[in-house]
Amino acid sequence: KAGAFILGTGRALPSRVLTNRDLEKMVDTSDEWITVRTGIKERRLVAEGESNSKLAISAAKKALEKAKVTPEELDLIIVATLTPDYLMPSVAVLVQQALGAKRAGAFDLSATCSGFLYALSIADKFVREDPKRKILVIGSEVLSHKTNWEDRTTCVLFGDGAGAAVVTGSPDGERGVISTHLHADGSLWHLLTLKGCGSLYPPCDPRIPKEDYYIRMQGREVFKQAVRAMESVTLEAIEAGGIDPQEIALLIPHQANIRIIEYLRERLELPPERVFVNIHKYGNTSAASIPIALDEAIEEGRLSPGDLVLMVSFGGGFTWAAVLMRW
């Protein structure tokens, strides 16, 4: 029996655009290297006055409008993020306050790029318990403030943005989330870190290298793990759903690298039109990448009722996840 059903989605991207050509002026890189190695052409960055919570609120308002749900109807708000405005309060309570969602509980969830799928999985459990519940699930990031703009191996990869979905119980037991698959392996955590400003790494501690206040990644090793994990969780979801890969109407992978996405597409023998790609416009927006992609896919008319949708992610931790749903 199906669980969480998506009533409406929304997205918010900052207006500032940083192109590969702009980056050529900042670090020793080239448009060609970035395009060939990652698929990214440009990314969005927050400007003065923009923040994670503002992006999240903007995406949430659009999702609520499309879902025809009022803030007062919300039971729960979950924000997946690794770049909250503050450590306290959470982004989720800032969203709750701004929307006037008086009845809703609210919390942030930290699972890096898999955060949105982790959050959607939690929402799925809540609406399976009571299908009338309405839950706002958001992925929102301001990675640009955690990017070392002198490190060419990371600064070309990331972007800012937010995506949101309003979720309730399945309307008919058929449409909605079929299965959720969450995984983690902390044994290789050191390959991808953002240590600075955690309680072990207080701000401005002179003993701590400056680089540790930003995202650090051993890209090649992470790439190998990402390919392996994305493939295995995809096959796990396909098996759990008892489906043939050819039945997938749209695969929505986390947008970290076009080569990872292409590998997955070829492995499943899916034609390009059945795999959603927008990495060229936004880069890697971590927890925001899948909900932004989902919102654009809907807007482009790429999903019809009854379609099978598979969302797959991989990120720091490591964490990886998949959610299979009938649209």
Chain residues binding ligand ACO by CB under 6 A are 29, 33-34, 37-38, 112-113, 152-153, 156, 192, 219-220, 222-223, 226, 256-257, 284, 286, 314-316
Closest distance to ligand ACO from the beta carbon of 295 (Å) = 20
- For ligand ACO, the closer CB: 159 or 316: 316
The active-site residue, picked from 20, 52, 257, 284, is 284
Which residue is listed with tokens 């070309």?
Answer: 156
Element (H, E) at 37: helix 31-38
Neighbours of 248 (CB within 10 A): 22
Q: Is 257 a catalytic residue?
A: no
Q: Is 20 a catalytic residue?
A: no
- For ligand ACO, the closer CB: 53 or 284: 284
- For ligand ACO, the closer CB: 34 or 250: 34
Q: Is 181 a catalytic residue?
A: no
Q: Are 121 and 180 in contact (CB under 8 A)?
A: yes
Which residue is listed with tokens 């997955």?
Answer: 264
- For ligand ACO, the closer CB: 152 or 195: 152
Q: Rounded CA gap, 169 and 174, in Å?
A: 11
Closest distance to ligand ACO from the beta carbon of 313 (Å) = 8
Neighbours of 189 (CB within 10 A): 12
First-to-last CA distance in the chain?
14
Q: Are 274 and 249 in contact (CB under 8 A)?
A: yes
The active-site residue, picked from 113, 155, 181, 257, is 113
Closest distance to ligand ACO from the beta carbon of 37 (Å) = 4
- Known catalytic residues are 113, 254, 284
